[in-house]
Structure 1
Amino acid sequence: MFGPWSGRRCDSADHQPTRNSMFRHTKTCAAALLALGGSSFLLPALAQQQLQRVEITGSNLKRTVDSEEALPVTIINVEQLRQSGVTSVEQVVQMLSTSQSSNVGSNSIGSSTGGATYANLRGIGTNKTLVLLNGRRVAAFAFNVNAVDLNAIPFAAVERVEVLRDGASAIYGTDAIGGVINFITKREYKGVTLSAEMTKPQKTGGDTDRANILFGFGNLEENGSNVWISFDRSHQKRVRALDRDFARTGVIPSKGVSGTSPTTFPGNFTQGSVAANPSAPDCAPPLSLPSPTSAGTCVFDFSATIDIIPEVKTETLAGRATFKVFKDSLLSVEVVSTDNDNISRVAPDPVAGISIPAGSPSYPVGTFPGLDTTKPVTAAWRMVPAGSRTNQALSHADRLVFDLTGTLAGMDYRAGLYYTDNTAQDGAIDGYVNAPFVRSEVAAGRLNPFVPATPAQLAIIETAKRRGTFATAEGTTQGADFRLSRDLFEMSGGTAAISGGAEFRKEFYRNDTDDAVVRAIPSAGRSPNHVSGDRKVLAFTTEAVLPVTKMLEVQLAARYDDYSDAGSTFNPKIGFRLQPTKNLVLRGSANTGFKAPTLDDLYAPQTITFATSSSNDPILCPGGVVNVAAGGVKSRDCGAQVQVQQGGNTKLKPEKSKTFTLGLAFEPVKNLTMSADYWNIKLKDQINALPQASIIANYIQYADRFHRCKDLPLDVQANLNRCLAGDTNSNAIGYITATQDNLGRVETDGIDFTAAYSFPLAGGNLALTWDGTWIRSYKYQNSPTDPMRENVGVYIDSSPVFRWQHTVSGTYAIGNWSSRLALRHKTGYYDKNDPASVVGGPSFYQSVKPYTLVDFAVSTKPIKGMSLTVGVKNLFDTDPPFSNQTDRSQRGFDPRYTDPLGRTFFVRGSYSFM
């Protein structure tokens, strides 16, 4: 059954899940559910147990289970997710109905994410979802120290996931505004388990294989020690756009979509107001096609040449050693080391600003009205002969934790030291070319951008290829913490308790480019940068639980944080649990939050890269109509990719929030448990980059963010595509500024629903579960002076917010066999419908259809210690719904919210022995 009501760490030795439930309670967790009016069929088993003192998710206090409070916590049994074909932590997070994450591994295609994937509860930002491992922080990803890369979590060693949905910033940290996701590994293990799994899509590409070994020895109860070690390796193959019909092209006339680039092969050229291509009007299909907006030129279908899922290899070593020390105390040492290798491919390298003198062997051949053949032309050439640009991102994460937990003089304590480190690098391993070298070779007549390359020219192009590291980065977090709790006095409803704690941590960040490489490869979107920063944080927490009456319990908490660079903040919290009847619990909480700018927000390198979507210059091509009088060139200024400056901003202010929740949990009939929790979040001074679409659409308001070529130094223009695509010092946009900024307010609210029903059926047992989130409203500003904009059910700026998401599952178990049928659903939304990229305008505007996937699996235990599972994910082979979004390199669908693999078969086996 679901675990949202228990609010419990359940760190006792009794960890075994109910066998028919993926989202479950342990026996001691179930006792807490019972106190809330949970499933009464658990009573006989619980009556025979001695109540235990355990730590509660969302609280630093340990208390007996009969005095537990109700917090909106979802507890996920990861082993049963594995049996359902889930192969990564990213997939676990995607199954949460509370998740609105758009930061997935496929985002590495066409961007510099380094292959990282992040959690984003409530959609308010990855930097406001606090990710913990065994209750402590994990180092943020090196290239974006805003959030934790989920690839750094040891999936094979994770036993369960606890998701606290009430934004408990007073307990865990001021950045837990959206909620907390706590990944919990095994406490102890004895024996050996070997496991292997394989997933294979019905269509080409995307095969995944995984192998794991887990072994441990010792027994805490018998000999006072236990040690376990796990090694896990996984490999997912890439999926090309050409491997899926819905992704194989960005040119879809029937939908009004023309996701193309004006830099093509054979190349386009310009001279003053003349723009042409020697291969026009036919161009060179299937990749080079006639331009729909500029007669006589061609465009390139870049979407056909990219990957839609990268190739990913991950290796993780995790271990834990636990020893009994002193009296009633445990000392544990936890080690995790993870390597992630992400390889992604995008369209061949575009080289612009190629000046070809008159009389050169490379000069365009043909008749072109208005062309003065005594003058040079400027060409832009897609380097198709060099092949796809291939990026490799390598990341390595280490974690070392010492933990001492126990009781002393009637008090519970926990102390720890931890060190976490994340390093990453990304670079070119194929397809990128040294742009200055290519320009010089074309000018000398040894390369020709208008005709197929000869063997001699292919050799020059191979020489032109530039491989190397673009940048390396590192993020570290090290700290110490101490918590102490005890009972105080008796009240009408039970024993009052109090806790106090302190934490000190130091964060460090650096990011360095290989200057020679990034200068030689402008399309990498990097500028020479060497930045670093650090901060110290000291925090104090206190908490009290007051059982005022047998029906009413009140929780009070407060946290004080002092940042060395962002000042100090005090954040209180109040919560309550009211149980008027045996089968009904009312609960609620209210708290404030404080989110300091991360080191990446402040110091991230300011680089200039290509936007993923096309746009019209608001001055030189307003509404898609070229303004020749102002110096507009249609092929350059209409429907083309502008370059964008991204990076940190040292002038940022902290974000502040107010959150409250109000809900109930009840049992309307025997064995049916249900809950509904309303949540409300108000955030001000949100830190984010202003979306490119908003900057373009509001030129007057954001005029200072536009940097035109004529206003820039020549050495800066030399690395800007639009400045090189026409005459130097033109009026074209060199780049627009979209660095991190305090954008304004965010206000969002909604309701989380859960239900679980379990009953005997035909000699076995059937368990049904349901988990859904409905968002009433999500409003935000792009600046403090802007009106609030509603984002629910509509794609605005860079993403939609889903009105409704849910998962439904049914598990039937009989003997050594079990089967599970699960359904995942997202509602549709009004699409991006960008007039700069949708050819034909409003007549082609559309809504993205709802998206539902069905999975099925069967498991058996043929002999002692062995488990076998076979299943199908996306049973009905449902394609992602069509989307005309242009914020990702993938076109025709949105890879952030859908699964492009299609029907996928999987098999998993494990064998355990002593």
Structure 2
Amino acid sequence: MTQFQVRRGAQPFALSTVASAVCLLGLVAQAQAQTAAPAPAPTQTIERVEITGSIFKRLSDQTALPVSTIRAEEISARGHVELKDFLLELPESSTIGFYSGTVGTLINLRGLGQARSLTLMNGRRFANEPLTDQYVSANTVPKIAMSRVETLRDGASSIYGSDAIGGVQNYYTFQSFKGVKVKADMMQPQRRGGGDTLGYAVLAGVGDLGSQGWNIYGGFEYSKREVLFRRDRPELAGLDANGLPNTNLSPDLIAMGLAGSTDLTASTSSPANFLTTLGSNGVPNGTVYNPYATTGCTPPLSVRSSATALTCSLNQRNLDLSTYGNGTELMNWYGKGTLNLPGDHQVSLEVLHSANDILAYNSPVGTTNANYYLSLPKSSPWYPGGSGGVPVVRNAAGTVVVADANLASSPARLYLRWAPLDAGLPQLRDEHINERVVLASEGAFLGFDYRAGLNWGRAQRNTMRDKVYRTQALQTGLDNGTLNPFGIQNEAGMKYLRDNLIELDTRRKAQTTNSSVDLTLTRELMDLRGGPLRLGLGAELRRNVWQAWGYATNDVVVVPGAIQAANTTSAYLGKVPFTYSEAIPNSNQPDSTMNGRAVRKVNSVFAEVDAPVLKSLTLNAAVRADSYKYSHQTIKGVNPKIGVRYQPDRTWMLRASANTGFRVPSLPEVFGNAEEFRNSSIDDPLYCNSLTNTSNNPGLTTAQVCDFEVTQIVKSKSAGTTLKPEKSKAWTVGFGLQPSPDVTITVDYWSTMVRDVLGTVAIEQLLANYDKYAAQFIRRADGSIERVLNSKANAGDMRASGTDFSLKLRIKTADIGTFTPSLDVSYTNDIATRVVGTSEWVSALATSEPLGVSTQDGLTGNRATMHRWKHTASLSWRGGHWNWTLAQRYQSKLRDRNEPARVNAAGSEGARDVRPYESFNLTVGYNGFKGLRLTAGINNLFAENPPLTNNSRYQGYQTQIADVLGRSYRASAEYQF
């Protein structure tokens, strides 16, 4: 084990407690194997079962593919209250953790992107999350009915679809269940205030498949996690209870210059920033001002953008303005009925309904959108210098710089960048619904074993915003003097805002359906020296439908009338309330609607041959041909896969496989019209001298060209350009050792290359290669950048490689019970991207720096990170009615995203690392009462905080890889009768 670490160059981590225990117990096991007399094994029937990645049923250890299996009991024993926690600790996954947005929990195998990891249940697809039609949230899986999870750590599966470039995760439910099981779970952080979870579930079934030939069972589960605000963990933000900088707390934050710091951008604020002039295209431009900048703005709500700026900025690290984690409410209903028929046939019907609501508190939304600005007339009492008492803007010498109501030369209107906060934080509620019905049959017919199924699924996503205002109503209130954009409203202003507050505004709806029929035939053809030669043939016909109404992710224009039409024409879609319809009347408004409907038909045939040419050597070959038919084109692909397994005796084994795959563009990528707005602070590559932070253009100020905020519009389709499919090549090679029945070691090396990656070019690459992408920078008449356009395209290539290592032991003792240590390691050797037309590969390994190509399609930015070393270790013990498990998760360091000091706080610039992270979970169980199983545990036993990062997205702590709940206590009770 130590040699393996040194040879592979893994980061040293001083063999933590659990890892040391694993190695020590391995030596004990070896000694025990040499001295203990073998006990007589009980007679048992070994059943061949379906294994992920192959047509044929086989023993779980008879595969040439790297498949990891974990049972539901082990997931619970490791202290996982949610499947999110299980996915987060998988060494081979780069799953997003607590900071997971409003999509839900997504698997991201090998860091290749959620869209390239296929999520299945019982070997069949779900309907995809409908906004992007590219992935499935694990929250859809009914935990109460789950028996095991298999993760195929290999490339494109010839069985399930060649789009599974990163791998496949397959959730299996119980084949049958008899009796009643009820379960309750709770998880409470030691620090009160948010983030606690409560859940309960029931599962009941009747009938015995063996003796009666039938079984029916069904279950329901409910769980809720509370929102965790930053005010619940003030010491992690370097702030006191009032949200002000606190030098007595968080010395690590203070040392980095992050304690109490702000996101220093001169954009929206409360009080409002303003501009005084219009450009030739009718867009406000010029210098930005704020009446309260020289007096320090309104801390802690807002602070001065910089020591010299005449603007205010919202304190994005303010305890009341942001959260560490979203709230979720999950309900799953699941049922399955199975019937044995004469003639060796079995029919089953499976029904799922999942509803997952995610509540996010957004940062205050400004009232500016692309080319539309609210404005304040000079007649308003709240005009600077007017009767309302708003001060004028003065420079350091005390001279009035700009607008004053008492001066005839003052502008007639001020154009505002204002984020109204009088009603509190705006909320984003995402309702995810996923339904599935599967009718399946299997048995024997005309010498073939067959499996057939009808699969129908539908996914719906409804996005609602709460506590936002009607834009036209705000403008009316400014025009008539009711609203004050530069301070807290008086009684009349508050009443006006309350009367125009929008609650549960349905901004968009999206829906996908997946209908398919599949048939698989297998039979033995002849006997070879190692066993029967087996042939498998299969076909699948699928029909995917995507439809969407509304606007894209963070477009602040309000709901279009199409939502209202959808509510009146579709009973299903009409379940979400419709509030109002309003559009901003501006001819320059970008086209940001995502209304659309598209259909795709997928026809697939596949075959597999399994040839045990010798007792020790088995060859496997498979091929899949897919035809994706769109309304305007058909994309076809044929992808083979080969595998070999060599096992001369029971103590060791070699295996290898190679495959190709391809992933076609999703329906929204081809037909969608959505736009996602991303705000970034950039330097104009033409006119900003970044070294001196000054303007090279005499007609433009420094504020217009250096460190200014620009909106990047990321379009979901390629503006008429035909998108090609991604194409991949991957291979794995590995070996396994089993010197005794109680010791198993496996090592697998893997490598994947993906060409023509469907994604977007990172804005950093656009800026660095301005000559190539100049057309994507839309400039105003005066030459300043107005916005940046970016579209989905075949943006470049991606590669990744690494090694997986697994050690599993079982140590039986006569006096103190059985110990079961295990260690699973993923060592990533390389992951990198290159932009189309370039030869330079940009490494994404062990770094928080942005990639050249965004691989996380449908998610904002490049959130996934790949650590060089990740492992999960556990030590379990069972004796009598008691059991316990100590589990550890470890991730090696990252190179931090070292942003310029002027973007973050002073002192944060320069090379630094995000330190390694590890956490321990302890679980204790007791089953001494008939039918009752009690479990208690402590998560994050040593209250380890996430590591610090300069990346402004996380505002101090990197909550992507770990949450900030601190030490948490949990308990569960399960009763079965």
TM-score range, shorter chain: 0.7 to 0.9
User: What is the 5 A alignment of 1:637-786?
Assistant: 638-646=706-714, 647-649=716-718, 651-668=722-739, 671-710=742-781, 731-761=783-813, 762-786=815-839
What is the CA-CA distance between 1:80 and the residue it aligns to? 2.7
Letter in 1 for 2:830: S
Residues 813, 819 of structure 1: 8 Å contact kept: yes
Q: Distance between the aligned counterparts of 1:877 and 1:253, measured in 2?
A: 20
Q: Does 1:292 align with 2:302?
A: no
What is the CA-CA distance between 1:443 and the residue it aligns to? 3.4
Residues 268, 297 of structure 1: 8 Å contact kept: yes
Q: Distance between the aligned counterparts of 2:724 and 2:872, measured in 1?
A: 38
Residues 53, 157 of structure 2: 8 Å contact kept: no
Partner of 1:478: 515
Change beyond 3 A, Cα 1:45–1:850:
farther
Q: Distance between the aligned counterparts of 1:807 and 1:324, measured in 2?
A: 41
Paired residue for 2:483, among 427, 431, 447? 447
Letter in 1 for 2:657: S
Partner of 1:713: none
User: Which moved further from structure 2: 463-472 or 332-341?
Assistant: 463-472
Partner of 2:566: none
Q: Does 1:246 align with 2:236?
A: yes
Q: Does 1:267 align with 2:272?
A: yes
Partner of 1:97: 91
Letter in 2 for 1:519: A
Paired residue for 2:65, among 71, 93, 107? 71
What is the CA-CA distance between 1:448 and the residue it aligns to? 1.6
Q: Distance between the aligned counterparts of 1:41 and 1:587, measured in 2?
A: 31
What is the CA-CA distance between 1:620 and the residue it aligns to? 5.0
Partner of 1:515: 560
Counterpart secondary structure, 1:59: coil
User: What is the 5 A alignment of 1:466-865?
Assistant: 466-467=502-503, 468-513=505-550, 514-515=559-560, 517=581, 519=583, 527-565=592-630, 566-611=634-679, 613-619=680-686, 621-623=688-690, 625-627=693-695, 629=697, 631-633=699-701, 638-646=706-714, 647-649=716-718, 651-668=722-739, 671-710=742-781, 731-761=783-813, 762-797=815-850, 798-799=862-863, 800-835=865-900, 837-840=903-906, 843-865=909-931
User: Which moved further from structure 2: 134-143 or 145-154?
Assistant: 145-154
Change beyond 3 A, Cα 1:795–1:271:
same
Residues 392, 403 of structure 2: 8 Å contact kept: no
What is the CA-CA distance between 1:311 and the residue it aligns to? 1.3
Counterpart secondary structure, 2:690: helix
Residues 606, 739 of structure 1: 8 Å contact kept: no
Residues 264, 380 of structure 1: 8 Å contact kept: yes
Letter in 2 for 1:892: G
Q: Distance between the aligned counterparts of 2:392 and 2:264, measured in 1?
A: 25
Q: Distance between the aligned counterparts of 2:60 and 2:359, measured in 1?
A: 52
Normalised to the residue count of structure 2, the TM-score between the two structures is 0.82
What is the CA-CA distance between 1:342 and the residue it aligns to? 1.1
Letter in 2 for 1:291: S
What is the CA-CA distance between 1:105 and the residue it aligns to? 6.6
Partner of 1:341: 357
Q: CA RMSD in A?
A: 2.7
Change beyond 3 A, Cα 1:93–1:865:
same
Residues 316, 339 of structure 1: 8 Å contact kept: yes
Identity percentage of aligned residues: 30
Residues 274, 415 of structure 2: 8 Å contact kept: yes
Q: Distance between the aligned counterparts of 2:745 and 2:34, measured in 1?
A: 10
Residues 98, 959 of structure 2: 8 Å contact kept: no
Change beyond 3 A, Cα 1:66–1:821:
closer
Partner of 2:210: 221
Change beyond 3 A, Cα 1:378–1:172:
same
Counterpart secondary structure, 1:230: strand
Change beyond 3 A, Cα 1:465–1:637:
farther
Per-residue CA deviations over 1:831-889 (Å, capped at 9, x if unaligned) read: 11122623558844421111101110100013111000110100111111111213x4x
Paired residue for 1:884, among 933, 947, 950? 950
Residues 287, 704 of structure 2: 8 Å contact kept: no
Change beyond 3 A, Cα 1:674–1:42:
farther
Q: Distance between the aligned counterparts of 1:780 and 1:92, measured in 2?
A: 28
Q: Does 1:360 align with 2:380?
A: yes
Residues 290, 393 of structure 2: 8 Å contact kept: no
Partner of 2:148: 160
Q: Distance between the aligned counterparts of 1:801 and 1:782, measured in 2?
A: 19
Per-residue CA deviations over 1:205-231 (Å, capped at 9, x if unaligned) read: 111000101000000111110000000
Q: Distance between the aligned counterparts of 2:466 and 2:657, measured in 1?
A: 52
Unaligned 5+ segments in structure 1 are: 1-37, 109-113, 711-729
Residues 535, 564 of structure 1: 8 Å contact kept: yes
What is the CA-CA distance between 1:277 and the residue it aligns to? 2.0
Letter in 1 for 2:560: D
What is the CA-CA distance between 1:295 and the residue it aligns to? 2.3
Paired residue for 2:52, among 52, 57, 69? 57
Counterpart secondary structure, 1:812: strand
User: Which moved further from structure 2: 467-476 or 689-698?
Assistant: 689-698
Paired residue for 1:179, among 167, 171, 174? 167
Normalised to the residue count of structure 1, the TM-score between the two structures is 0.88
What is the CA-CA distance between 1:630 and the residue it aligns to? 5.3
Counterpart secondary structure, 2:890: strand
Counterpart secondary structure, 1:82: helix
Counterpart secondary structure, 1:694: helix
Paired residue for 1:384, among 409, 415, 421? 421
Partner of 1:121: 109
Residues 497, 545 of structure 1: 8 Å contact kept: yes
What is the CA-CA distance between 1:384 and the residue it aligns to? 2.0
Change beyond 3 A, Cα 1:620–1:428:
farther
User: Which moved further from structure 2: 696-705 or 478-487?
Assistant: 696-705
Q: Distance between the aligned counterparts of 1:285 and 1:879, measured in 2?
A: 27
Q: Distance between the aligned counterparts of 1:169 and 1:256, measured in 2?
A: 48
User: Which moved further from structure 2: 225-234 or 615-624?
Assistant: 615-624
Letter in 1 for 2:375: S
Change beyond 3 A, Cα 1:53–1:669:
closer
What is the CA-CA distance between 1:670 and the residue it aligns to? 6.0
Partner of 2:316: 302
Q: Distance between the aligned counterparts of 2:585 and 2:357, measured in 1?
A: 22
Residues 899, 908 of structure 2: 8 Å contact kept: no
User: Which moved further from structure 2: 559-568 or 432-441?
Assistant: 432-441
Partner of 1:901: 965
Change beyond 3 A, Cα 1:544–1:449:
same
Q: Distance between the aligned counterparts of 2:254 and 2:378, measured in 1?
A: 38
